[in-house]
Amino acid sequence: MHVMLLPCCVLVFLLPRPCFTAPTFMPEAAGSPSTEPQVDLKLATEYLQQYYNLQKEPLGRMRRSGSTFAAKVKDMQTFFGLNATGVLDADTLEVMGSPRCGVPDVEEYSHIQGTRWDKNVITYSIGSYTRDLPRNTVDSLVESAFSVWARASGLTFVRTHTRNADIMVEFVTYEHGDLYPFDGPRGTLAHAFGPGLGVGGDTHFDDGEHWSAGETGFNLFVVAAHEFGHALGLKHSRNPNSLMYPTYKSSHPANLLSREDVTDINALYSRATGRPGHVPRYDWSAQYHPWMSGPLPRLMQNKCAPDLTFDAVSTLGDATFFFRERYLWIKHNEQYDIKEGPITNFMPKIETSINAAFWVPRRSTAYLIHESMFWTVRGSLVKGKPRALSHFGFPAWVQDVDAAVHIVKTGRTLFFMHDIYWSYNENRRVMDFGYPKYISEDFPGVNETINAAVHKEGFIYFFVGPQVYKYDYTQKLVVGVEKANSWLGC
């Protein structure tokens, strides 16, 4: 028996038509097809045939299938949250003309493909490259796209240089051997096959498109991350904030995955056991070192990447916490093991990134800040609900800070934002008079935006991009520079 494995995803760019006038089609019922431009009707018919199972019919039979056409339009409008009228209005045509992935939307709606890799270590290989980007840039973007899923799950992606990898990544044009040819510039962008043997998992990009690492052309990182979701077994989402939403968006958030995406990938793959639907939590109740107890989740997170940066760094008890987006590394000061995973694994109440963090030893309390709110962590537990940053006495226009650090000797907590900083008196719990001040004036040598800061052994360590400045607070002098990832043993 011959079995054909259909591609899981085809990203398609359909050119918007110059005029979107409504209505362009009324089902015959009551009527016959609209007299509006046939180009819009052709666009809609091809779209519905590809994504909503509208049956192809011989020319001239459209009149008799008007009610079916309208029903398919309604299905499409319902999927995208449009007004389900069955009429090709401007909003409907605009969605139909948007870049999108080619998985049919008429399949039974489910986030889960129903197939998955039967392992948590998945190999990939790049067989051919685009002409638009340097090879090392493609390597980096592909690795970053896999890391999006690795950070949210128990999966590890390992690159090989053979043709036997689970996921083969190729840049090809037109007919390329899988029965799903590409069509040149501004058409089909890419497609991916679901998990399985042979071509299962393979992901192809049309090299007839213009690929970039930025906002021009099509962003390879964003498209690849979406396609790899399908290669792992995920279907489309109706949530516009989801990476698995069908249409391509040129702008994207710093955190590509929505909460829905994270939930869905963990429903297929488990960190600890490999059982679908099981997302383990790690025990914070150990008596001596709650941060370091329990198993170490082995996730693909390239902590030794030369350009690694952190959003926040803070000591918490006998450990140092390193935050990046919604990911966390925990390094015990007297041990070599590093515990890592999504922040929610360790702090289920915190479902956001952390922008700044500091530790007040005399209270055995840490404060974790996200934009205009902060959480209080005492012992190993997040206490209560988040509170407003204004609690510290900031003026109303301050809605976030870049970094924070507590200086035990002075009893002050310093908050840094852009090129200014504040000093907060922890004893009196008020802001010191005369602030904010300029960072460059009080911290000579620190002339860039501070990403994170931590106080250790009498020095302040400023994390600036991928570097760390060791700052002598007494002498007002930078006394050393090292790589940020050296703090994780790299």
176-194 residue pLDDT tens: 787 677 777 776 788 888 8
Do 121-268 and 309-488 come out as alike in CATH topology? Answer: no
Q: Where are the domains of the chain?
A: 17-96, 121-268, 309-488
pLDDT (mean) for 202-225: 88
244 is an annotated ligand-binding site residue: yes
Confidence of residue 166 (pLDDT cuts 50, 70, 90): very high
289 is an annotated ligand-binding site residue: no
In this predicted structure, what is the pLDDT of residue 357? 95
Task: Tell me the per-residue pLDDT of 318-338, one tens digit each, with 9 for 90 and over.
Answer: 789 999 988 888 887 655 667
Q: What is the rounded distance in angstroms from the CA atom of residue 322 to the CA atom of residue 340?
A: 9
CATH of domain 121-268: 3.40.390.10
Question: CB-based contacts of 456: which residues, under 8 Å, 6+ apart?
Answer: 315
89 is an annotated ligand-binding site residue: no
Q: Above 50 in pLDDT, residue 208? A: yes
The number of residues making up the chain comes to: 490
209 is an annotated ligand-binding site residue: yes
Max avg pLDDT among 108-117, 183-192, 341-350, 395-404: 395-404
Task: Tell me the per-residue pLDDT of 439-462, one tens digit each, with 9 for 90 and over.
Answer: 988 998 888 889 999 998 889 999
For domain 309-488, which CATH number applies: 3.40.640.10, 2.110.10.10, 3.40.50.300, 1.10.645.10?
2.110.10.10
Active site residues: 227
Q: Above 70 in pLDDT, residue 46? A: yes
Determine the angle formed by the axes of helices 66-79 and 38-51, rounding to 10 degrees: 70
Cis check: omega of the bond before 436, within 30 degrees of 0: yes
318 is an annotated ligand-binding site residue: no
166 is an annotated ligand-binding site residue: yes
Q: Is the pTM of this model over 0.75?
A: no
Scan for tokens 């200086």, then name that residue: 407
Instruction: Give how far the C-alpha of residue 227 lies from the chain's centroid of Cα atoms, to the nearest Å.
Output: 13
Report whether 73 contacts 88 (CB < 8 A): yes
For residue 321, which of 375, 396, 275 has the smallest C-alpha distance? 375
The architecture (CATH level 2) of 17-96 comes to Orthogonal Bundle (1.10)
202 is an annotated ligand-binding site residue: yes
Q: Above 90 in pLDDT, residue 168? A: yes
In this predicted structure, what is the pLDDT of residue 8? 53
Q: What is the rounded distance in angstroms from the CA atom of residue 247 to the CA atom of residue 249?
A: 6
- DSSP states of 3-40: ----EEEEEE-PPPPS---S-----SSS----SS-HHH
CA dist 154 to 238, 244, 274, 442, Å?
A: 25, 19, 8, 44
The answer to whether the Cα torsion of 475, 478, 479, 485 is positive or negative is: positive
The answer to whether the Cα torsion of 57, 63, 64, 70 is positive or negative is: positive
CB atoms within 10 A of CB 477: 12
404 is an annotated ligand-binding site residue: yes
Cis check: omega of the bond before 306, within 30 degrees of 0: no
DSSP code of residue 56: P
